[in-house]
Amino acid sequence: MTDLSPLLAKADESLPQSLERLFELVRIPSISTDPAFKADCQRAAEWLVKELNDLGFTASVRDTPGHPMVVAHHAAASEDAPHALFYGHYDVQPVDPLNLWEDDPFAPAIKEKDGRKVITGRGTSDDKGQLLTFVEACRAYKAVNGSLPVRITVLFEGEEESGSTSLKPFLSANEAELKADFALVCDTSMWDRETPAIAAALRGLVGEEITITAADRDLHSGLFGGAAANPVHILTRILADLHDETGKVTLPGFYEGVEETPSNIKASWDSLGRTAESFLGEVGLSIPSGEKGRSVLELTWARPTAEVNGIIGGYTGEGFKTVIAAKASAKVSFRLVGDQDPAKIRDSFRAYVTSRIPADCSVEFHEHGGSPAIQLSYDSPVLTKAKNALSDEWPKAAVVIGMGGSIPIVGDFQKMLGMDSLLVGFGQVDDRIHSPNEKYDLNSFHKGIRSWIRILDALAKN
Ligand SMILES: [Zn+2]
């Protein structure tokens, strides 16, 4: 085992300088969505390039039609070490309403909050503080060993908060340069202050809109009611029958590619103590919906869903109108897990709906996107190494979690560069990212640096 203590000690003693560098970066108001800050985005990119070049990376600002990318490369101490792509973003969200900030969002400071030291300012948590945890870990390696244990390519984006317009074209134009063995993405949160988390499962999505047409015009429900088909009735029955009484989705083939979560992972989720009451209590509910007999974490991280997101049909205005509508429509989305195939799910849904439309009525479908789930194998060596490394640093063992939604960059890395991503971040739920009074715990920054030192060492080993 490598003795990491000189590296960790270096990170500890350099913390004041690391913080000063974070402050410098936070002082640059790199708000990507507002053209007034275009020069500041450029300045933030140049600042990062200078830092990386000073560390011995070959770094450059790379122009795009929007804000520039930062790309940097550094070789590993050993030829056969793995190659990691590290991703973060230097752009930040706008700061309005400014009057709700207790301090200047671009004048970072250390403050005492609820008995903890926090770093205040826009971007301290999302994502400048997070990306610098990695850069500062590299700095400690260079200072102590003169080298890095893993070959590293860095990609910093400047449009993450404004739609990442340039990202896909940039990835495809620079595929060979950016492809690594795996990606490290630092833009997520810990489970809690003591428990680090690695996200290994992100649900995919299929969006469908259906419109059912019955009569060729809206009808008087007294004259036609009882004889003419009512599309609202047809639609709602179809939607209601998407689930059986146990909460399972009834579409043929829907669960193809859905695997049960390994029991040790399920047990670790159970140990997090997230009950239905605590999870749903935050939104005024208490009884889990969906599939019976599964925890709320399993339901939101590891199980697929069918949800009706909207229904339109008939008269919904003021007063009352006795009408049988000509049309009724609904927007329906499916969250996917494991190897579920978005195209197959869409086909199955369309076949199911079509089969239930009366012969004198019709249905039209409109597609609203589709992307598969991302699932890192729970026993992947990279995941296990990072998990153990994090567990060595924090009071509680790292937990491998899922995420109910998707993170586009992870799908792009997978699809365009054929790379799995490891999502490791040190944010806290109360960091107020995107809101006034954003902060990053000093402990997140400090132990985040130490965590990357440990992770890089672990990843370098076979
Ligand atoms: Zn972010």
Tens-place pLDDT, residues 339-350: 999 999 999 999
**pLDDT computed for residue 2 by the predictor:** 85
**Contact yes or no for 176/39 (Cβ under 8 A):** no
- Each domain of the chain, given as residue ranges in start order, spans 5-201+375-459, 204-258+304-371
What does the alpha-carbon distance between residue 59 and residue 56 come to, in Å, rounded to a whole number? Answer: 9
Residues 6+ apart with CB under 8 A from 263: none
**pLDDT computed for residue 230 by the predictor:** 98
**Contact yes or no for 25/132 (Cβ under 8 A):** yes
Question: Ligand 1 center to residue 389 CA distance, Å?
Answer: 23
Question: Ligand 1 center to residue 17 CA distance, Å?
Answer: 24
What does the alpha-carbon distance between residue 177 and residue 154 come to, in Å, rounded to a whole number? Answer: 11
**pLDDT computed for residue 13 by the predictor:** 98
What does the alpha-carbon distance between residue 452 and residue 230 come to, in Å, rounded to a whole number? Answer: 61
Question: Ligand 1 center to residue 89 CA distance, Å?
Answer: 7
Question: Ligand 1 center to residue 439 CA distance, Å?
Answer: 13
Question: Ligand 1 center to residue 191 CA distance, Å?
Answer: 17
**Contact yes or no for 159/106 (Cβ under 8 A):** no
CB atoms within 10 A of CB 282: 8
Here the tokens at position 115 are 């008995």
**Contact yes or no for 365/238 (Cβ under 8 A):** no
- Packing angle, helices 442-460 and 5-13, rounded to 10: 150
What does the alpha-carbon distance between residue 52 and residue 310 come to, in Å, rounded to a whole number? Answer: 48
pLDDT tens across the length of the chain (462 residues): 789 999 999 999 999 999 999 999 999 999 999 999 999 999 999 999 999 999 999 999 999 999 999 999 999 999 999 999 999 999 999 999 999 999 999 999 999 998 999 999 999 999 999 999 999 999 999 999 999 999 999 999 999 999 899 999 999 999 999 999 999 999 999 999 999 999 999 999 999 999 999 999 999 999 999 999 999 999 999 999 999 999 999 999 999 999 999 999 999 999 999 999 999 998 999 999 989 999 999 999 999 999 999 999 999 999 999 999 999 999 999 999 999 999 999 999 999 999 999 999 999 999 998 899 998 989 899 999 999 999 999 999 999 999 988 788 999 999 999 999 999 999 999 999 999 999 999 999 999 999 999 999 999 997
CB atoms within 10 A of CB 270: 13
* Residue 455, CA distances (Å) to 17, 134, 198, 392, 447 in order: 22, 10, 12, 10, 12
- Burial of 312 (C-beta count, 10 Å sphere; 0-12/13-18/19+): middle
C-alpha 458 chain-centroid distance: 24
**Contact yes or no for 29/91 (Cβ under 8 A):** no
**pLDDT computed for residue 388 by the predictor:** 97
Question: Ligand 1 center to residue 434 CA distance, Å?
Answer: 9
Question: Ligand 1 center to residue 160 CA distance, Å?
Answer: 7
Here the tokens at position 319 are 């007063």
Terminal-to-terminal C-alpha distance of the chain: 12
Question: Ligand 1 center to residue 86 CA distance, Å?
Answer: 14
> Is CATH 2.160.10.10 correct for 5-201+375-459?
no
**pLDDT computed for residue 404 by the predictor:** 87
- Packing angle, helices 128-145 and 5-13, rounded to 10: 120
CATH architecture type of domain 204-258+304-371: 2-Layer Sandwich (3.30)
Question: Ligand 1 center to residue 159 CA distance, Å?
Answer: 10
Question: Ligand 1 center to residue 190 CA distance, Å?
Answer: 14
Question: Ligand 1 center to residue 165 CA distance, Å?
Answer: 15
What does the alpha-carbon distance between residue 203 and residue 183 come to, in Å, rounded to a whole number? Answer: 18
**pLDDT computed for residue 328 by the predictor:** 98
C-alpha 66 chain-centroid distance: 22
**pLDDT computed for residue 405 by the predictor:** 82
What does the alpha-carbon distance between residue 339 and residue 316 come to, in Å, rounded to a whole number? Answer: 40
**Contact yes or no for 440/453 (Cβ under 8 A):** no
**pLDDT computed for residue 407 by the predictor:** 83
Question: Ligand 1 center to residue 187 CA distance, Å?
Answer: 5
Tens-place pLDDT, residues 254-294: 999 999 999 999 999 999 999 999 999 989 999 999 899 99
Question: Ligand 1 center to residue 90 CA distance, Å?
Answer: 9
What does the alpha-carbon distance between residue 391 and residue 382 come to, in Å, rounded to a whole number? Answer: 14
- Burial of 306 (C-beta count, 10 Å sphere; 0-12/13-18/19+): buried
Question: Ligand 1 center to residue 188 CA distance, Å?
Answer: 7
